[in-house]
């Protein structure tokens, strides 16, 4: 028995769940959990995530995919099946500070984030030691605002990743980079989006005198800090907080939302739709 | 078109979702949302809530129930179909203070809690005026610890309710009462269960020096404050808080968890299972 | 014995606390709580709130104020003493919906908000009944975006208030109104400022796909939803939330932050400073 | 200029703040922040924490202490002055899992926890590598429930520490150990105390069906998980959570409350009083 995840997405119509669950049943699969969501009750878009056991010595994933194809075609759906135990490859880009990097590496080491990390790229050489401890290839690329050296980044990335994690990477990735890389990029922003985009969000929060600060993980798109939001976390602050304490409290939030995003992503729980996300979280 | 809710519960087996969604599809229904949960991956209990449109001039609820019966029998399931727009009847029992009562009545009046309130029973006469303003029959039953006058309560309740709400009713309902009434009773406890059961939970919290207080809504069972938990809410407190401020902050939490419980209950989103609840919340 | 509150504010200098507490001590006062805050460690602004008992048959508030004057002068401070039990007068302006109004009136009635409410003004006639139940003068002023009828508002307000509460008043008060009224105005905004200013913040939040919604109470200034923030509250939401559920969840937050603001305001716990607030909350 | 912290504690009386702030003023000190708390308005216990600059080339800490002594005597107070930049020594005891250890070491390395760590003691040898990376002496003491080997622990601890951190140390320290060590010990409990004391709190929470889980940092006393609570944190969970996800979510909470406790402790912000804590947190 193996565990698989099926994602299915189409214009909402009658009979989708019936058809798909019947198919899984027919080929000996047993549904563990099924999450579904319709973006609008009457004329919306439909999203389905099914996690199921399958004896893939009897019915292979490929066979099931073949059988699913006509259903997908009929409903004009996008559809995919993933093997849960097959680890995704997550490349990491990081500047300073390194708290998100350290958190991800620790959780990766202890098995909580079940993925591979083919490399760490940083424009700060200081993370070399940490990378070494975890035995992960480390590339120091001295990228700056003036010279982002994205060709070098892309060369290192090559075909090694399923997605990228920006664990506080402080340079904006260009439109060119995004269209070359094509796959998903998860960023953590140290502010409660859509407030406080861009630089120095904690200073912005301090200047505004907010009583709650936050952090946001989101997919990267061309617009700065404008991509679909995946997770947010907040913490109460008061007039006694200063920039230093906001940064300290914020770091905990940043780690939380980035880990939550990655955790859900590698479990195929996140679907992007029209600059928003559906997150079938545990 | 009308909206219906189907609840289905049985030992987990293959093919349940396929069978039921096919049935709804066959009779012209269209699934709006489907929530399911298995208590244990391999050998657990299975719970399903489906909300669906049905043209009940073509297929009546009763017809669908008939057609569902053999499936339920096959899976040895408990199963029911409810019409969403048919309002449930919620009897209210209340002592002092009256903040939960006031909140429920206001939300009922403005349509947020779509239910009927056939009566308010209180062992405090002070709520008479509020009941009058909302034009709800009010019964002052001077119940005390020594004489709970439960026969009188049961007489008033009669067949008028689908469930009871204890909106801070400070007397324990006896085993006899529970076995006579039989239906669900939702209570709000002004403490973070399982901590601080029974009397004066805020004083208990103050004495213990906790840094977070809470409130809990739960179903009433024989054991005091031991029934299945439906909703909980919390708030940070500090050494500067005194009994008065804990009570003040707690009232907000009590209103929140009681309303959340009632809101989910009248939408058939709560299923009790082995002294726990499954809450398919929005 | 009576309880008094002293507020003191000046450029930070050595010896302030020593001088003031010595003065209170000298005249038989006993400090219950003292809160202080310096906006910047080395060259900042200093804020002090002292709550103290005073036998005002022996030393009157006026006498103490006289004795305090030279100290205030020396430190170039703003300074005031208030009698805690003297209730402030809070005028209420409200449109639709009325949940914040209902909450405030209930808490006022039960004594939790210890203030007077000289009137309720609304551009919706529907709140008349509620006002009547609580025996508060009600004025229906059919103000609209085109004709805000602020002269009529100011005429009703007259000298009856110490501050105004906008309990979801949906019209912007003009610069003229603000400069005529002069005193503090507390507003509740149904969004997490500085995100989602202006109209339909829940729709904005839904469109943006945020994972946390919020509400904000703040002082009114000329800039729309730009005044000093007093309190904020948040709640997690998900892709399953729709506009209706966001509004429902948000109402709880709005009530919370508005009540928190008013509660702290009438206890002289809020000091405005450079478009931010110091809140010496309990 | 140097920064000092004064802690003062006595039966509440008139004139304390006046006297002490006058003294600091007289010797050229400048108060940065002053926090005070009275346990009861009329007849309570009084706590004061003052952080102040002092040119200690002109007035030494010792001189100030001498001058303070008569005031402390007069008020029958406990009193101490600490130099803020003098780092405390924190010994760490840890079993499995190591997430709290890793968090503390990282924050220590980056300077956020400004303290010394003279050693790590563990009954699991696996943490050796981590200790080595951070260049902290590591002692593997194979303590078990049957043989806690506390004499060996005490021998290692020697005079090297100001306090101990139990970063998930799974053995109960005996009465003998506590009376030998005498100083403060900060523990993290992976449950929301006073609920779920002792073993397997996440399993207990799962069995009870709570809708919110928590973690608690507290001082160690003889009673198991009964000591004064320092910090608590919580997170919403639902019926979909299993033991694994509760543990995963709980780890984030455990790290948070333990770091918060240590952070406040090494800044002299925590005062124990009658099995509760006063925490003058930033």
Q: Angle between the C99-109 and C243-265 helix axes, to the nearest 10 degrees? A: 40
Choice among D12, D56, D225, D241 that is catalytic: D225
- Choose among A14, A18, A33: nearest Cβ to B18: A18
Residue A281 near chain B (CB below 8 Å): no
Alpha carbon separation from A277 to A12, A217, A223, D258 (Å, rounded) = 17, 11, 16, 33
Q: Which of A33-42, D46-55, D121-130 has the lowest mean pLDDT?
A: A33-42
The nearest CA of chain D is from the CA of C33 a distance in Å of 7
Interface TM-score (ipTM) > 0.90: yes
Of A33, A241, A256, the CB nearest to D252: A256
User: For chain A, what is the radius of gyration of the CA atoms?
Assistant: 21
Active-site annotation holder among B56, B225, B241, B267: B225
Strand partners, D215: D233
CA atoms of C83 and C62, how far apart (whole Å): 11
What percent of chain B is predicted at pLDDT more than 90?
Answer: 83
CA distance B18 to A24: 9
Chain C hits for D18, CB-CB cut-off 8 Å, are 18, 21-22, 24-25
Query: Where do the DSSP E strands lie in chain D?
Result: 2-11, 30-38, 45-54, 78-83, 88-94, 115-116, 120-122, 138-140, 163-166, 184-189, 212-219, 229-236, 270-273, 276-279
| Mean per-residue pLDDT, A172-185 | 97
pLDDT for the residue numbered C41? 60
Examine residue B194 and say whether the peptide bond preceding it is cis (omega within 30 degrees of 0).
Answer: yes
Tell me the shortest Cα–Cα distance from A255 to chain D, in angstroms: 9
Render pLDDT for B43-99 as a digit per residue (tens, 0 to 9): 689 999 999 999 888 999 999 999 999 999 999 999 999 999 999 999 999 999 999
Contact C238 A214 (CB under 8 A): no
3-state helix, strand, coil in chain D (%, to 5): 30, 30, 40
The span from the CA of C257 to the CA of A28, in Å, is 54
Instruction: State the pLDDT at residue D56.
Output: 85
Cα–Cα nearest to A217, from A115, A123, A100, A124: A100
pLDDT > 70: percent of chain D? 99
> Count of H helices and E strands in chain D?
8, 14
Angle at C23 between CA C20 and CA C25, to 5 degrees: 110
pLDDT for position C42: 59
Backbone angles phi and psi of C74, in degrees to 5: -60, -45
Can you tell me the mean pLDDT for C175-181? 97
The residue in chain B having the minimum alpha-carbon distance to the alpha carbon of residue D41 is B242
> Who contacts D60 (Cβ-Cβ below 8 Å, separation ≥6)?
none
pLDDT in tens, chain B (282 residues): 799 999 999 998 877 888 898 899 899 888 888 888 887 755 689 999 999 999 888 999 999 999 999 999 999 999 999 999 999 999 999 999 999 999 999 999 999 999 999 999 999 999 999 999 999 999 999 999 999 999 999 999 999 999 999 999 999 999 999 999 999 999 999 999 998 888 899 999 999 999 999 999 999 999 888 999 999 999 999 999 999 999 999 999 999 999 999 999 999 999 999 899 999 987
Contacts of B240 in chain D (CB under 8 A): 37
Peptide bond into C97 cis (omega under 30): yes
B225 catalytic, yes or no?
yes
Q: Are D34 and D50 in contact (CB under 8 A)?
A: yes
Distance CA D44, CA C230 (A): 31
8 Å CB contact of D30 and C21: no
Query: Rounded to an integer, what distance in angstroms lies between the CA atom of residue C269 and that of residue B144?
Result: 41
Q: Which DSSP symbol is given to C66? A: H
The Cα B50–Cα D51 span in angstroms is 61
B158 touches chain A (CB under 8 A): no
Please give the Cα distance from D3 to D116 (Å, whole number). 19
pLDDT reported for residue B34: 84
Averaged pLDDT, D212-241: 95
Q: Which domains does chain D possess?
A: 2-83 (3.30.70.260), 88-279 (3.40.50.170)
CB distance from B252 to chain C under 8 Å?
A: yes
Per-residue pLDDT reduced to its tens digit, A123-172: 999 999 999 999 999 999 999 999 999 999 999 999 999 999 999 999 99
Whether B216 and B188 have beta carbons less than 8 Å apart is answered as yes
User: Which of the residues of A are catalytic?
Assistant: 225
CB within 8 Å of D178: residues ≥ 6 apart? D185, D220, D221, D222
Classify residue D135 as exposed, middle or buried by CB count within 10 Å of its CB (0-12, 13-18, 19+).
exposed
Q: Per residue in A199-240, pLDDT tens?
A: 899 999 999 999 999 999 999 999 888 999 999 999 999 999
Task: Answer whether A43's CB lies under 8 Å from A12's CB.
Answer: yes
- Sign of the CA dihedral running B129, B130, B133, B135: negative
> Contact A21/B18, CB-based, under 8 Å?
yes
Neighbours of A155 (CB within 10 A): 11
By DSSP bridging, strand C270-273 and strand C276-279 are: antiparallel
Is the CB of A128 inside 8 Å of chain D's CB atoms?
A: no
| Residue A270 confidence (pLDDT) above 80 | yes
Q: How many CA atoms lie within 13 A of B148 on its CB side?
A: 15
The C-alpha torsion from A98 through A100 and A104 to A109, rounded to 10°, is: 40
**DSSP secondary structure string for all residues of A91-131:** EEEE-S--HHHHHHHHHHHTTSS-EE---EEESSGGGHHHH
Provide the H-helix boundaries in C4-91. 16-26, 61-74
In B, residues 61-120, which contact C (CB 8 Å cutoff)?
97-99, 102, 106, 110, 112
Pairing relationship of beta strands D78-83 and D2-11 according to DSSP bridges: antiparallel
Mean pLDDT of D74-90: 95
Pair type for strands B115-116 and B88-94: parallel
Question: Hey, which bits of chain B come out as E strands?
Answer: 2-11, 30-38, 45-54, 78-83, 88-94, 115-116, 120-122, 138-140, 163-166, 184-189, 212-219, 229-236, 270-273, 276-279
DSSP single-letter state for residue B18: H
Confidence category of residue C56, pLDDT binned at 50, 70, 90: confident
Is residue B149 within 8 Å of B251, Cβ to Cβ?
A: no
Cα(A201)–Cα(A216) distance, rounded to whole angstroms?
Answer: 11
Beta-bridge partners for C122: C94, C140
Which pLDDT value is given to residue C39?
78
Check CB contact under 8 Å for C282 and B112: no
Per-residue CA distances from C233 to A121, A239, C99, C254 (Å)? 38, 16, 16, 8
Are B37 and D230 in contact (CB < 8 Å)?
no
What is the model's pLDDT at position C43?
Answer: 63
For chain D, what percent of residues have pLDDT higher than 90?
83
Q: What DSSP string describes B188-233?
A: EESS-TTSS-SS-HHHHHHHHT-SEEEEEEEE--SSTT-SPEEEEE
Q: ∠ CA(C3), CA(C7), CA(C9), 5° rounding?
A: 165
Judging contacts by C-beta atoms under 8 Å, the chain D residues touching residue C33 are 36-38
How far, CA to CA in Å, does C103 sit from each of B124, B241, C259?
22, 23, 8
Per-residue pLDDT reduced to its tens digit, A225-234: 899 999 999 9
Among A residues 217-236, those touching chain B with beta carbons less than 8 Å apart: 236
Confidence of residue D43 (pLDDT cuts 50, 70, 90): low
Tens digits of residue pLDDT in D256-282: 999 999 999 999 999 999 899 999 987
Closest chain B residue to A47 measured between Cα atoms? B33
Chains that touch B (3 or more CB pairs under 8 A): A, C, D
CB distance from D214 to chain B under 8 Å? yes
CB B53 within 8 A of CB B29: yes
With both helix axes pointing from N to C terminus, report the angle between A243-265 and A99-109 in degrees, rounded to the nearest 10: 40
Asked if the Cβ–Cβ distance from C102 to B106 is below 8 Å, we say: yes
What separation in angstroms does the CA of D52 have from each of A20, A101, D268? 69, 37, 13
Q: What is the pLDDT of residue C195?
A: 87
B128 min Cα distance to partner chain A (Å): 40
Which residue from B164, B190, B160, B192 is spatially nearest to B177, judged by alpha carbons?
B164
Task: State pLDDT tens for residues D5-34.
Answer: 999 999 988 778 888 988 998 998 888 888
Question: Quick one: which H or E segment has residue B108?
Answer: helix B99-109
| Stretch among A96-110, B19-33, D66-80, D81-95 having the lowest mean pLDDT | B19-33
Query: Please, what's the b/e burial string for C219-243 (b: 16 or more CB within 10 A of its CB; e: otherwise)?
Result: bbbeeebbbbbbbbbbbebbbbbbe
**CA–CA distance from A14 to each of A44, A51, A69, D148 (Å)?**
12, 21, 18, 65
- How many CA atoms within 13 Å lie on the side-chain side of C96? 10
């Amino acid at each position: 028995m193996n565990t698989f995840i099926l994602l299915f997405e189409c214009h909402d119509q009658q009979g989708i769940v019936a058809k798909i669950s019947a198919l899984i049943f027919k080929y000996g699969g047993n549904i563990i959990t099924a999450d579904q969501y319709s973006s609008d009750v009457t004329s919306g878009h439909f999203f389905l995530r099914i996690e199921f056991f399958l004896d893939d010595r009897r019915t292979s994933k490929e066979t099931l995919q073949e059988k699913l194809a006509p259903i997908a075609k009929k409903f004009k759906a996008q559809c995919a099946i993933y093997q849960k135990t097959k680890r995704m490859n997550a490349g990491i880009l990081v500047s300073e500070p390194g708290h998100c990097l350290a958190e991800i590496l620790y959780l990766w080491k202890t098995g909580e984030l079940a993925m591979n990390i083919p490399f760490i790229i940083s424009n700060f050489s200081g993370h070399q030691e940490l990378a070494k401890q975890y035995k992960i290839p480390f590339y120091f690329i001295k990228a700056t605002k003036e010279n982002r050296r994205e060709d070098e980044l892309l060369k290192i990335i090559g075909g090694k990743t399923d997605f990228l994690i920006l664990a506080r990477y402080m340079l904006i990735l260009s439109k060119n980079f995004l269209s070359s890389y094509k796959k998903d990029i998860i960023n953590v922003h140290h502010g409660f989006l859509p407030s406080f985009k861009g630089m120095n969000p904690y200073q912005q929060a301090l200047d505004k005198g907010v009583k709650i600060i936050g952090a946001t993980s989101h997919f990267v798109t061309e617009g700065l800090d404008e991509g679909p939001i995946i997770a947010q976390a907040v913490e109460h602050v008061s007039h006694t907080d200063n920039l230093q304490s906001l940064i300290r409290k914020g770091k905990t939030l940043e780690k939380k939302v980035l880990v939550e995003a990655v955790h859900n992503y590698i479990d195929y729980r996140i679907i992007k739709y029209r600059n928003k996300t559906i997150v079938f979280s545990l």
